[in-house]
Amino acid sequence: NCNFSKLWLSIFFCVFSVSGDLLVLTVATQETDGFRRFLRSAKHFNYTIKVLGRGETWRGGDYMSPPGGGQKVRLLKSALEDIQDENRVILFVDSYDVIFSSGPRELLKKFQQAKHRVVFSAETLIWPDRHLEDKHPHVREGKRFLGAGGFIGYAPNLKKMLSDWSGADSDSDQLHFTKIYINPEKRKSINITLDNKCRLFQNLHGALDEVVLKFEDGRVRARNVLYDTLPVIIHGNGPTKLQINYLGNYIPNLWTFETGCTICNENLRPLSGLQESEYPVVVIGIFIQQPTPFVTVFFERLLNLKYPKNRLQLFIYNQESHHEPHVRTFLEYHESEYQGVKLIGPEEDIDPVTSRNIGFDMCRDNIDCEYFFSVDVDVVLKNEDTLRILIEPFIAPMMTKPGLLWTNFWGALSADGYYARSEDYVDIVQGHRVGLWNVPYISHIFLTKADALRTDLKDPDLFESATLDPDMAFCSKVRNKGVFMFVTNVHTYGRVLSTENYQTNHLHNDLWQVFENPVEWEERYIHENYSKVLKDGFIETPCPDVYWFPVFTDVACKHLIEEMEHFGQWSGGGNTDNRIQGGYENVPTIDIHMNQVGYEKEWQKFLLDYAAPVTEKMYPGYYTRAQFDLAFVVRYKPDEQPALRPHHDASTFTINIALNQVGIDYQGGGCRFLRYNCSVNAPRRGWALMHPGRLTHYHEGLPTVQGVRYIVVSFVDP
C-alpha cells in the first residue's frame, strides 16, 4: 500500500493489487496534489499502477504552451519494451488531471465491447493541427477527434504504434497519435478506434455541458448526458483543471448524500497527545490594511486560540495609523507570551503585496516553522480550536457574513477569472453539504505548509499582477503551480466583518456598527443574559409596572461614558435649551443628546431591536415603533447636579439604563416613584428600567452623594 500520510518522492511504484491482465501506466515527474488525487482514486478501485518518469525534469510543455508531451511517448515506449505478455492490456493515462470513477472490471468489459485492439479517448475539438480535420474518419454519432490523454490496448499493438517514434520530448504526442489514426493503413494494422460516446474516457475540454454528477446508491459517477454513458476515466484536459477539481470533490465517493464526507478524517495530524514543546511551530500573519471595526476583539480572540503561544510566532502588518493603539496595547501586554513577534507599522510605508511576501519569508527562513497561518483582521475567529483543526496542507476555514451567501471562497470562476457560483455553492454555505472542498479561490484566512512555501510557492511575486487584485493573483498562481486549495465547513469557524461605511472619527467607533455588523455589535455590547429576558422571563418588577432587565455589557457602558466625556459638550443644566423644540426644558439635566454625537439612528435601531420586544411582552397590546424625540446620557455629580426633582417624562414609556456601578463609581442615586412610594436604590450597571412616562409614574432622581453617576435615558413614543 502507498502511504498517503507522507509525501515521499522516493515512492514511485504503487502496486495496489493485480486486476486481471490490466496494467495502468502513467507519467509523473513530481508528486503534485493532482497526482496524489489520481493515486487515491486508483487505490479506491484496486488498479495496478506503474509510474514513469520519476526524477526526470519535465520537458514536455503544458496545456498553456505550444504542443508537447513527447516525453510521455518516450517513457511509454521504453516501459513497453519490458512487457512480454501478449495478452497484457495496458491503460495509459495522464495523472495530474485524471480520476477514476469506476474499477478495472468495468473498464476491461467496455474495452472488450469496443472490439478493437486499441481504444483512444475522443474529443469534440481537434488539436493541435486543425488542418487535419478532413482526414479524420467520419462517425455516425459521437466525438470524431482523437485525444492522447488516455488510451487502452494490448501491449503488442501499442508497441507497434510506438515503434517508429523518434521525436523530441517537446514534440506533440497528440499529433503523433493523430497521424497514425488518420492513416487508414496504420489504423487498420494496429486496429485503433475512438471511444466516440465516452464509455471509457471522458475528456472535459469542449464537453463541460455534457457532464453532470450522478448520485446513486451511495456512489458518485460522472454521467455524459449527451450519450447517456458513465465513463470510467475522467480527464480534465486543457483548460478544464477547475472542473476536474470540482468533480474530484465527489468522485470516487469522496462525498455522497448517504455517507457525507469520507475523507475528512484522513491525514489529520493528531496534536492531543503531544507535549507543548512538540507542537508544530506556526507563524501567524496578521494583516491590517484598512480601517476595520472590532480590532480589539480580534486580538482578544487571537489570545483565546487553544494553541501553545510559545509555539507561535506573530507577523503583524498594520497599514492604518488609526489601529496603532490597538496593536500597541496588545503587544504591550502579550508580546512576551509568543515565541517571536515581527511588526511592520504604517511609518515603514511598506505596500500590502510586499508585506505578504515578508510574512511568508518569516516562515520560509525559520527552519522550525511548519505552517503559515494567514489571517486578515476583519476575520472573526469564533472557534478557539481553529488552528488545531486546520493542520492540513493548504486549507481555509469557511467564513460567512451573517444573513448573506457571501463566503471567503469561490466555488467556480467565470471565463475572465472572476467569481462564478458552482452548483454546490449554496449547499456548502448553508451546511447541507459538509466536507473538504477543492476550490479555485480563497481569501481572508488560510493555513499552508511551510514546505509548500519553500518549494512550489517560493516565487516572490505570488501576489503581483497587472490586472488582478493581490488575493486573486495569489490564488491564480497557486492554481497554476498545481497546488490545491481547500475550504472546509466541517466545523463552524467564524465570519468576516463588513468594513463598508466604517468611520474613524469617534473615540469608540465600534459603537456605530449596529447596522453593518449587527452580530458582532450584539456580542460586544448586548448583555449575555438579554436573551433570557424574552425566552425565560428573566426580568424583575421592583415597582408596579416598572420592569428591570439586563441589556448592556460592561464594555457598552464603558464605551458610552467615554464617548460622551470625549465629546465633552455637556449641557449647563438650565431651563433654556436650544437643542430641543421650543428651546425650553422644564426639568433640565446635565446631559449630551445622542444626536449631538451622531448616534440617533443607531440608538433607534437599538431601541427597536432590544427595547421594543420587552415592551410588547410586558405591556400586552401596546406596540411601538421605538420613535423618540429625546435620548441622552445624563451625568450626576454632587457638586454639579446631584439629583432631579419630581416630574413626568414626555413619553409613552421611558428606558433608563445605568452605565456605571453604585458603591464603586458613586454613592447614592437611584429612582423613586412617588405614587407608589417605591424606589430603585441600587441600579445595576447595564440594566434598564422601563416604565410609563406619563400620568401614573411621577418620579424623581435620588441624590448622588459621592463620585459620578451616568445613565442613558430615552423618551420613547412622545
Residues marked active site are found at 709
Residues 718 and 627 sit within 8 Å (Cβ to Cβ): yes
List own/partner pairs for 623-626 with CB under 8 A and 24 or more apart: 624/652, 624/653, 624/716, 624/717, 625/717, 626/716, 626/717
60 grid coordinates? 514536455
**Cα–Cα distance measured from residue 69 to residue 149, given in angstroms and rounded to the nearest whole number:** 10
- CA atoms of 549 and 421, how far apart (whole Å): 45
Q: What is the largest CA-CA distance in the chain?
A: 113
* Edge-to-edge order in the sheet of strand 145-154: 13-15, 48-52, 22-27, 89-93, 145-154, 118-123, 192-195
Element (H, E) at 178: helix 173-181
Distance from C-alpha of 630 to C-alpha of 322, rounded to nearest angstrom: 32
Burial 54-83 (b: 16+ CB within 10 A, else e): eebeeebbebeeebbbbbbbbbbbebbeeb
Distance (Å, whole) CA 66 – CA 452: 28
Name the DSSP letter for residue 199.
S
Residue 537 is classified by DSSP as: -
b/e code 600-622 from CB counts within 10 Å (16+ = b) = eebbbebbeebbbebbeebbeee
3-state DSSP call for residue 80? helix
Residue 602 CA to residue 619 CA, distance in Å, equals: 24
Which residues neighbour 411 within 8 Å (Cβ) at sequence distance 6 or greater? 246, 420, 421, 422, 423, 424, 425, 428, 437, 439, 440
Q: Whole-angstrom Cα distance, residue 98 to residue 111?
A: 18
CB 175 within 8 A of CB 67: yes
Alpha carbon distance 227, 142 (integer Å): 8
What does the alpha-carbon distance between residue 305 and residue 189 come to, in Å, rounded to a whole number? 68
Residue 170, Cα to own-chain centre: how many angstroms?
40
Neighbours of 39 (CB within 10 A): 22
Helix segments in 53-129, DSSP class H: 70-80, 104-114
- Residue 467, Cβ density class (10 Å: 0-12 exposed, 13-18 middle, ≥19 buried): exposed
Per-residue CA distances from 317 to 121, 327, 494 (Å) = 51, 10, 22
How distant, in Å, are the alpha carbons of 52, 116, 569 from that of 157?
20, 10, 94
How far is the C-alpha of 527 from the C-alpha of 518, rounded, in Å? 14
